[in-house]
Structure 1
C-alpha cells in the first residue's frame, strides 16, 4: 500500500477552482466586478508563470469569506459545485482515483486552493484526506486571513511533511500527480512523479528527468 497524492486544479478537474470561485463571486455581485475580476486574472497569470505572491493572492481570495455569513457562503458554494465544478470533473481523473483505491493506496489531495472551496470537491471525489490553504476562523466566522503555512510550492512539502508525521506514514513508494511547474518541489520528493497535462515548463522538466507524462483530458 502506497500514498497516492493528487493536485486538484487542472489535474483531477479541468479548471482552476480558486479562479473559478472568484469569477463566481463576480457573477453573484458579491465583489467589485471590475477590480476583483482584473486582480483575479492577474494572479492567475502570475500562477501560470511561476511568479505568484501567494500572500498577496490570499489577501484577495480570503477577504470575501469574512464579508458574508457561513449560511450565505455555503448556499453559494452549492450553486458553485453544480454550475462550475461538476461539469469539469474529469472522468479519467475519477478512474485514476479508483485504480489507486482498488490497490489499497491512501489517497490524498494537496492543493494551493483554500479548504472552503476545495473541501466539498474532495468529498465529491471520494477523497477523505485533504491538505489545503486553511482560512483562519474565529467564533465560527472567517477572518479573511490565512492560518499556518499556505500549501503552495515549498509550502506543500512543509505541510505534507507535517501530515506524514501526524499519520505515521512516509513517502516511500509514493505517487504525486500534478499539472503545474509550481509543484516541482513536491514532484522531486516522491518515487513516482507524474506530470498530468502539464504546463510547458513542467513538460520540459518531466521530459528531461524522464518522468511519466499522462493526460486525463
Structure 2
C-alpha cells in the first residue's frame, strides 16, 4: 500500500517571488503607521539576519507586529485586505498556482510551512487554495483577543519547521515514516526540514541552498525563470 503523500511548501521566494513579511512592513510604512527611516533601517537589518540564518524570531515578531498592535484589529484587517489587492495578488504567479494545483489534483495533502506570521500569510494561503497553514502563530491577549507581540508555541523557523510538521502529523495519527513528504524551499534556513523530507526540491534557491542541492543531487526548480 502506498503512503499518503504530502507536499510541503515554503512561501516567501518559493511560491511567491517576494518576501510577504518584508512587503507588509513596507506597506505599513507607506500607510504612515511607522517612522519610515527607522522602520526601514530595522526591517532591512532583520531581513539580512534572516538571509544569514541569525534571526531571532521572537525579537523579529515583536518588531513586525508593533504597527498592527498599535492600530488595532479593525484597521489592521482592513489594511491587510488592501495589501492583498495592491501587492500580493500581483505576486501570486500562474506557474506557482499550477504547481500547487498539480499536487492537489494528484490527491496530495498540501501544507504551507512558513516563518512569516499567520496574520500576514493566512489570506495568501487562501489565495492559493491551501487550508493547511503552519505559520508563526501569534499569542493573543485574553481580554482584547488581539496580538500581544509574542509567539504562541514553536516558531516555524529553521528546526522549528520540523517540530511544527511533526506536531501536524501527530494530530492526524501519523509519523514521518508513515507518509511520503516533498518539501519545496528557496532558503538554506530550511535545510533541517529538507533533510527530513523524502524529497527536497530547491526552488528558486539562494546561493547557499543551491550549492547544497547541487552537491546532493536535489532537483533545482526555477519557478520564476
Query: TM-score range with shorter-chain normalisation?
Result: over 0.9
Unpaired runs of at least 5, structure 1: none
SS in 2 for 1:174: strand
Alignment partners' CA distance in 2, 1:91 and 1:14: 12
SS in 2 for 1:143: strand
Q: Is the Cα contact below 8 Å between 1:65 and 1:144 reproduced in 2?
A: no
SS in 2 for 1:82: helix
Given the alignment, which residue of 72, 75, 100 partners 2:75? 72
Structure 1 residue aligned with 2:24: 21
CA shift, 1:197, in A, is 0.7
Q: Is the Cα contact below 8 Å between 2:111 and 2:131 reproduced in 1?
A: yes
SS in 2 for 1:188: helix
How many positions carry a matched residue from both structures? 217
Summarize the alignment of residues 123-142 of structure 1 with structure 2, pairs less than 5 Å apart. Answer: 123-138=126-141, 139-142=144-147
CA shift, 1:163, in A, is 0.9
Say yes or no: does 1:180 pair with 2:152.
Answer: no
Structure 2 residue aligned with 1:143: 148
Say yes or no: does 1:160 pair with 2:165.
Answer: yes
SS in 2 for 1:51: coil
Alignment partners' CA distance in 2, 1:55 and 1:142: 13
Q: Is the Cα contact below 8 Å between 2:58 and 2:150 reproduced in 1?
A: no
SS in 1 for 2:18: coil
Structure 2 residue aligned with 1:60: 63
Alignment partners' CA distance in 2, 1:93 and 1:196: 11
CA shift, 1:199, in A, is 0.1
Alignment partners' CA distance in 2, 1:134 and 1:73: 17
Structure 1 residue aligned with 2:34: 31
Alignment partners' CA distance in 1, 2:127 and 2:91: 12
CA shift, 1:33, in A, is 1.2
Q: Is the Cα contact below 8 Å between 1:63 and 1:145 reproduced in 2?
A: no
Q: TM-score, normalised by structure 2?
A: 0.93
**Which sits farther off after the overlay, 159-168 or 179-188?**
159-168
CA shift, 1:62, in A, is 2.0
Q: Is the Cα contact below 8 Å between 1:62 and 1:145 reproduced in 2?
A: no
